[in-house]
A and B are shown apart, each in its own frame.
Chain A
Amino acid sequence: MKHIVKTAALAAAVSLAAGAATVASSSDATAAWKPKKPVEFVIMAGKGGGADRLARFIQGIIKKHKLSALPLVPINKGGGSGAEALRYVKDKQGDPHVIMATLNSYYTTPLRNPGLGVDISSFTPIARLAEDTFQLWVHSDTKIMSVKDYVAAVKTAGAKNWRMGGTGKGQEDSLVTAMLEKAYGIKVTYVPFKGGGTVAKQLIGKHIHSTVNNPSEQIGFWKAGKSRPLATFTPKRLKAFPDVPTFGELGQNLSYFMQRSVVAPGGIPADAASYYVDLFDKVYKSEDWQNYLSSKGLLPGWLTGKALQDYFVKEREAHRKLLMAMGEIK
């Protein structure tokens, strides 16, 4: 065993040297509070998914620009559509060394699982970094060029033969699909998959007929001419897709966003909260982040403090209505 220990120590020492060389002392002295140990960056989703990628991207920006003296350590707690993460952060009440990256399951999971005992308005809001958008996608081999064609095609095929792929039931994709069905008086067969990336692949492989992917999940295929966006679920057209109309332009006021925010447990010291707001302000203003937003079709949307908490509460109510209309909750 000694050899393993020795060699492991050696390997650790080598990486340690590499690590030490990269971590320079932090330059900011604006906030009074500073983390005393590595900060747990809880992710409400599993490894490799969209939320996970984004969180690791943020971690990368922080590391690259040396924004924090001690590292953020991402921990995936994606179980139960984020139920695990929510419960964890709730139990960490008052612990300033935990923050969480959220997505819309931040609203829907507590609504669907009242037994969790999680009230998101008791958490400390840090910052909203972006709003991800949704588009209606079909394969480029089809003759469907517009939402009008789409509605006609779904009606001809019938609900049984038109497969819409998306993430799990009660999650964003299924909510968007329900909105679409209601607005156009159509019915589709909803097939749930594990993540947005898998959904995108199923469309390109023609196992399903349409998706409501985030632009970032389809953009690679779109550039290669394999898929086609029909319309965007936003009030204004996206910079990355200037030719794709919004549903508003087509006469149906459908819009839905996926928020990408960071929150902390409730009851943390005020100066700790302002430390994180400051940290994420720097992330938000970084060139990397702004480039990412514009090239991947996300909308910038900096919000913090009370405005963010009000936004969360408002969105929770909106989602309560959506879920009730779908019959997912009573």
Chain B
Amino acid sequence: MEILGLLLEGFAVALQPINLALIVAGCIAGLFIGAMPGLGSVNGVAILLPMTFLVPPTSAIIFLGSLYYGAMYGGAISSIMLGIPGASTAVATTFDGRPMALQGKADRALVAAATASFVGGTISVVLFTLFAPPLADFALAFGPPEEFALLLLAFATFIGLGGDDIPKTLFSIFIGLMFSAVGLDIVSGDPRLIFLDLPGFYHGINFLVLAIGIYGIGEILWTVETTRGEMVVSRAAVTIRGVVRALTDLRHNIRSMLMGSFLGYFVGILPAAGATPGSLMAYGVARTMSKHPETYGKGNVDGVVAPESANNAASTGSMLPMLTLGIPGSPTTAILLGGMVIWGLEPGPMLFIEHKEFVWGLIASLYAANLFALLINIAFIPAFLMVLRMPFTILAPVIFILCVVGGYAPTQDMHDVWLMLIFGVMGYLMRKLDYPLAPAVLAIVLGPLAEASVRQSLIMAHGSFGIFFDRPISAIIMAIAIALFAWPVLIAIRRRLRA
């Protein structure tokens, strides 16, 4: 019961008027930053970090923690409404969120995303409150071989995501992985694939540049063409009754929400993994477990709920190694960690002992932030839907401008804007020929982690692949991944034998 006492003390900190105000401000700021294509929680936290120098550390982390959450909620908004994932954590949300919006069910998708985020966030904070220290030790057991096994599992859950055209799907995966190799070879430290010697390629091809190019520019060009520029994106009317009905309908999706929350949380606490693989795996697992996998990608609510609950749960999860070990579980927590150093706190094992009020104030504020983010998000849904009802000839230029500015913002390099335009045009031309593009986006997200972890593992083992099977955790995850890869093949063989 010691935890309960500490948590109550934490609430006493979190509910002070200034901290409460910061929670609300953080949620709103995060919501907008997350909803902007191109900006996600990493940018938001990095940019607003120096602001927090002006308040006490506990208030500062409360603000940034709320912003982190708000951005996770906000990421779903541009995924659903515009079909452009605002951050890599929201990629999986586009798969079903976008079709729902096109079917005039944007309100339901937004409500589902917000509610799932709330459930994921809350479950993970409860898990965090109860089991922080033992899970931290578990996180440490993940070295390069385990990381690779986990990424392989993430890939395995996506088998069959592409279209029916196998060579085109494979091509898309390969080209995405290849793009992820541009920049620096981490093992030798040498520059790699610096096309035309342009310095902009040194920082690699940012996931966002590809995603905004394909989903922003390419898709809009496609929409303009197929509808001859005369389309209205969505005619969904917003009524309070509609929102309530959407909420009650979600009872059918509780299973996916719970699965996403737990999975997201556990993947989130693993250093280097973070929310992106977490949300992708949750989507893959929901689809694999479903009785009707063919409805995924065509507007299945579970396909929105699973990744959204997972990415919020993972964002809480990634705070665990940050606080208990001083190791960031995601890029955003890496910056939060830097913030803690600025505030004069020592992240790591001693934090829970030396700075109780800080840790528990943060945990308590996460409970509050979840609630506020949900309420604020739902309150804004009508405004977001109004946007969708505007004529396309207004919406299209505004989206194009947001894409261009959003493509520039993360690296502040015009090189990336040009690259985005090329990806957009190529994406449009390839889409017309039925090349599936989602696999390329997934590949560029997971590629760098996968390559680094496999090569580190092989160096550790002097070139022997045995390392992936010698270590118990790695071996178990590998076995599951291989089984998942083999599953569709086995089914196909059985079908053929019967026929």
Contact = CB atoms under 8 A, between A and B. Distances in A.
Is there any pair of Cβ atoms, one from A and one from B, under 8 angstroms apart in the complex? yes
Interface of A: 1-4, 7-8, 11, 14-15, 18-19, 22, 47-49, 52-53, 56-57, 59-60, 63-64, 71, 74-81, 83-84, 87-88, 112-113, 115, 160, 163, 168-171, 189-194, 197-198, 200-202, 204-205, 207-208, 219-221, 223-224, 226, 291
Contacts of A7: 32, 380, 383
A233 B463 CA distance: 32
Contact of B184 (A1, A3, A56, A81): A81
Contact of A60 (B49, B186, B328): B49
The CB with the most chain A CB atoms within 10 A, among B32, B53, B200, is that of: B53
Given A47-B42, A193-B456, A224-B349, A1 B53 contact: no
Contacts of A88: 199
Given A79-B202, A80-B184, A221-B326, 7 more contacts: A52-B338, A53-B342, A56-B50, A57-B338, A77-B411, A223-B350, A226-B349
A48 B460 contact: no
Interface stretch (B118-126, B141-149, B308-316): B141-149
B334 A57 contact: no
B460 A163 contact: yes
B431 to A, nearest CB: 25
Contacts of B186: 168, 192-194
B140 A204 contact: yes
Interface string B237-259: 00000000000000000000000
A197 B334 CA distance: 9
A112 B190 contact: yes
Contacts of A115: 197
A48 B140 contact: no
Nearest to A217: B326
Main secondary structure of the interface of B (DSSP, over half): helix
Nearest to B339: A56
A52 B380 CA distance: 35
Contacts of B398: 1
Interface residues of B, number: 69
Given A7-B32, A169-B188, A64 B349 contact: no
B346 A223 contact: yes
Interface string B319-352: 0010001111001001101110110101111100
Contacts of B229: none
A329 to B, nearest CB: 11
Interface string B340-370: 0110101111100000000000000000000
Interface string B48-61: 01110110000000
A11 B191 contact: no
A63 B53 contact: yes
The CB with the most chain A CB atoms within 10 A, among B341, B344, B462, is that of: B341
A19 B383 CA distance: 27
Contact of B187 (A56, A80, A192): A192
Given A113-B191, A207-B143, A3 B25 contact: no
A254 B396 CA distance: 62
Nearest to A72: B50
A207 B203 contact: no
B387 interface: yes
Interface string B139-173: 01111100000000000000000000000000000
Contact of B183 (A48, A71, A76, A80): A80
Nearest to A207: B143
Contact of B390 (A1, A59, A198, A204): A1
A226 to B, nearest CB: 7
Nearest to A55: B338
A80 B342 contact: no
B328 A48 contact: yes
A287 B349 CA distance: 26
Contact of B54 (A64, A77, A163, A198): A64
A117 to B, nearest CB: 10
Contact of A224 (B189, B344, B350): B350
B328 A83 contact: no
Contact of A57 (B25, B191, B341, B411): B341
B394 interface: yes
A223 B349 CA distance: 8
Contacts of B459: 189-192
B188 to A, nearest CB: 5
Given A11-B29, A56-B342, A207 B53 contact: no
Contacts of A207: 143-144, 460
B135 interface: no
Contacts of B342: 53, 56-57, 60
B46 A189 contact: no
B50 A168 contact: no
Contact of B348 (A15, A60, A112, A224): A224
Nearest to B455: A192
B395 interface: yes
A203 B250 CA distance: 45
Contacts of B394: 1
B203 A205 contact: no
A190 B183 CA distance: 22
B187 A168 contact: yes
5 contacts: A47-B46, A79-B204, A198-B327, A201-B140, A220-B347
Contact of B53 (A60, A78, A189, A190): A60
